[in-house]
Amino acid sequence: MVKALKIFRTLVLAILILFAATAVNDANSSDQIHVYEYLPVSNDLRVRVENPLEAYPNQTVNVNITVEALVDLTINHVAIELYTFNDSKFDDITYFEKGKPVPVSSGELLNKVSNFTIDEQASNIVYGKLILEWTKKGSEEGEITEKKPTFVMIYLRNSELESLRSKVPELEAKIAELNENVTKLNSTLTDALNNLTDLENRSEGGLSDTRSVLTILAITTIFFAATTVYLFTRKPKEYW
């Protein structure tokens, strides 16, 4: 059962991250404000949480929380526990402390602003667990209602990743330049090979002509030598 709950929590967080990433891509600005509203089934109160949509680890951000009473009630405790993606709690914000109840009339608004510093090791998102405790006026024996909804608060940006992304156009330009240089070198190499082939062809033609001349010269020389020997060895006839 515990394992199933962990798997379910992981799936829920993954879906929340997907929605947060989509919202960030659509907003494309760190000035965007994320708004979360919670209205329990009992309709006793409405809670609105406002904070920056994007931030960096180790950055301090403000969180504005507004509690609107929809009936006469007493606020017993309001806080937000802060977690990173790996379920690590790193901070909490208390707006109304336990042991210090605050009576609120129907239609009355309570607003407070607080801040926190995002954990330096946090990644992906910061999500909050809203802790609400209140007592509805006229409930039996002051019965306390407690709710703990979880919601995505902030999408965390990665300065190192953004720095690498900013270098992509420069790297692409260098790659294009290298490709152009390679193309030029290939063209030069092709021309050099063509010239070498032409020189080889010319050399082979010259050697062929030289061989022909030498062959004719050799044949002529041999014929001349043979004729000379024949003439010298032939005896003339004697006439008496």
pLDDT tens string, the chain, 240 residues long: the values are 545 545 545 554 455 444 444 444 443 445 799 999 999 988 999 999 999 999 999 999 999 999 999 999 999 999 999 998 777 889 999 999 988 999 999 999 999 999 999 998 888 899 999 999 999 987 766 688 999 999 999 999 887 766 666 667 777 777 887 788 888 778 887 877 788 787 777 766 665 666 665 666 666 667 556 666 555 565 555 434
Q: Which of 125, 157, 189 is the last residue of a domain?
A: 157
Same domain, yes or no: 168 and 131: no
Same domain, yes or no: 165 and 152: no
- Strand 54-55 vs strand 150-156: parallel, antiparallel, or unpaired? parallel
Q: Please state the domain count of the chain.
A: 2
Same domain, yes or no: 137 and 31: yes
Is the Cβ–Cβ distance between 74 and 135 less than 8 Å?
A: yes
Same domain, yes or no: 193 and 238: yes
Q: Which domain holds residue 29?
A: 2-157
Same domain, yes or no: 139 and 174: no
Q: Which of 129, 157, 185 is the last residue of a domain?
A: 157
Same domain, yes or no: 166 and 119: no
Ordered alpha helix ranges (H), 73-158: none
Using the 8-state DSSP alphabet, how is residue 183 labeled? H
pTM for the model stands at: 0.57
**How many other C-beta atoms lie within 10 A of the C-beta of residue 51?**
21
Residue 61's φ and ψ, nearest 5 degrees, are -130, 155
Same domain, yes or no: 126 and 195: no
